[in-house]
Amino acid sequence: MCGTSSLLACGPLDPEPPSDAEGNPLPLPPPGEDWLRVVEVSPSPAIATEATIEVRFSEYLDPDTLNSYATLSLRSGGIVAGGRLTYRMSRKALLYHPRAPLEAELRYTLQTSPALRSVVGSPLAPETPAPIFFTDETLPAAEPPTRESVRWEDIAPILERSCASCHADQAWQLPQLSRDALRQTRSSQVDLPLVMPFEPARSYLMHKILADYPRRRFTVQPPPYSDAPPLAPDEIELIEDWIAGGAR
Ligand code: HEC
């Protein structure tokens, strides 16, 4: 019996779902998934007026939820400093670089768009603090982030070493990993191209070579059951840069 006199006997109350300042319910991670979290922000808290801020996350990000103007912004009172956004997929990191130099000796707050999601659909954890920065004019200006210019000739020997034993063998009936084949072949496992030039996060090749990528079919490549030498983190980053530079 759940009467007013025996409230405690009615069992535990459901915890209140998290809500924003206006009391609207906040989006939750999908069942079984964790929140998206900020792992590291650098540099912090002092930044140059021309700084590149790197925000590393706990999960890979959903490229559909990245907006180069709104995903990360630096605010100081009513001033919003527009910035350029780069997603370094292999590092699970967003890089923000202001379009115009920031004001000297000001305090800025880094705001993250509530629309940002991980690849499995998790929103940022509600308790995520908004990092605060102070501009320090004496610090050296940082260049806007650039990608290493990577050509196919830099990638080919890596794929030859770690992948060709199976993928170049007709008997396996696997997709060829030549430059043209990578650019022209759609995955037989998911509805994605193997390589979408300029878009590493939408290239299934990246989903297959990042060991902890959550949404791919079957195993990481090269398969752990094989003798093929695994890819080193800097080789994976090189492949990311090659795709980001247009997969030429
Ligand atoms: C031991 C043999 C073997 C090696 C070595 C190997 N693969 Fe594979 N690869 C497979 C098999 C088998 C599949 C299909 C099953 C799977 O996805 O795990 C596959 C699937 C793939 C797919 C998905 C194809 C599709 O249609 O979606 C990609 C992409 C891929 N491999 C890339 C690579 C890359 C890049 C390397 C080297 C870094 C590599 N593979 C090394 C055997 C291999």
The pLDDT assigned to 6 comes to 46
The pLDDT tens digits along the chain (248 residues) read 444 444 454 555 666 666 777 777 788 999 999 999 999 999 999 999 999 999 999 999 999 999 878 899 999 998 999 899 999 999 999 999 999 999 998 999 999 999 999 999 999 998 888 899 999 999 999 988 888 899 999 999 999 999 999 999 999 999 999 999 999 999 999 999 999 999 999 999 999 999 999 989 999 999 999 999 999 999 999 999 999 999 99
User: Both 187 and 223 in a single domain?
Assistant: yes
pLDDT at 12: 58
Q: Is residue 103 part of a domain?
A: yes
Verify whether ligand 1 is closer than 6 Å to residue 185 (CB atom): no
According to the model, what pLDDT value does residue 155 have?
97
Q: Which domain holds residue 72?
A: 28-135
Question: Any bridge partners for residue 95, and if so which?
Answer: 54, 86
Chain position carrying tokens 């998206």:
36
Instruction: Give the predicted TM-score (pTM) of the model.
Output: 0.90
Pairing assessment for the beta strands 132-135 and 46-47 based on DSSP bridges = parallel
DSSP state of 217: S
Rounded to 5°, angle at Cα 163 from 161 and 164: 80
Q: Whose CA is nearest to atom 1 of ligand 1?
A: 226
Assess whether the C-beta atom of 182 lies below 6 angstroms from ligand 1: no
Integer-rounded Cα Rg, in Å, for the chain is: 23
Ligand 1 atom nearest the C-alpha of 158 is 38
Residue 181 in contact with ligand 1 by CB distance below 6 A = no
> Does any ligand 1 atom lie closer than 6 A to the CB of residue 209?
yes
- Give the nearest ligand 1 atom to 194 CA: 29
Long-range CB pairs of 129-132 (<8 Å, 24+ gap) are 131/38, 131/41, 131/44, 131/45, 132/45, 132/107, 132/108
pLDDT of residue 3: 45
Q: Give the per-residue pLDDT at 99.
A: 92
- The reply to whether 61 and 119 lie within a common domain is yes
Number of domains in the chain: 2
pLDDT in tens, 59-70: 999 999 998 788
Under 8 Å between Cβ of 25 and 67: no
Gap between the Cα atoms of 91 and 33, Å rounded = 20
**Dist. CA 57 → ligand 1 center (Å):** 27
Compute, in angstroms, the gap from residue 11 CA to the centroid of ligand 1.
Answer: 52
220 Cβ inside 6 Å of ligand 1: no
Q: Has residue 2 been placed in a domain?
A: no
Ligand 1 centroid to residue 64 C-alpha, Å: 26
177 in the same domain as 103: no
Can you list the alpha helix ranges (DSSP code H) found in the chain?
152-162, 164-167, 179-184, 204-209, 233-244
Query: Which CATH number does the domain housing residue 40 bear?
Result: 2.60.40.1220
Amino acid at 136: D
Give me the pLDDT at residue 21, please: 74
Q: Among the three residues 107, 135, 163, which one is the final residue of a domain in this structure?
A: 135
d(CA 45, CA 93): 18
Of residues 216, 204, 217, 222, the one with CA closest to residue 168: 222
How many Å lie between the centroid of ligand 1 and the Cα of residue 216? 12
Domain check: are 33 and 129 in the same one?
yes
Distance 85 CA to ligand 1 centre (A): 31
Q: Is 162 in the pocket of ligand 1 (CB under 6 A)?
A: yes
Q: Measure 209 CA to ligand 1 centroid, in angstroms.
A: 9
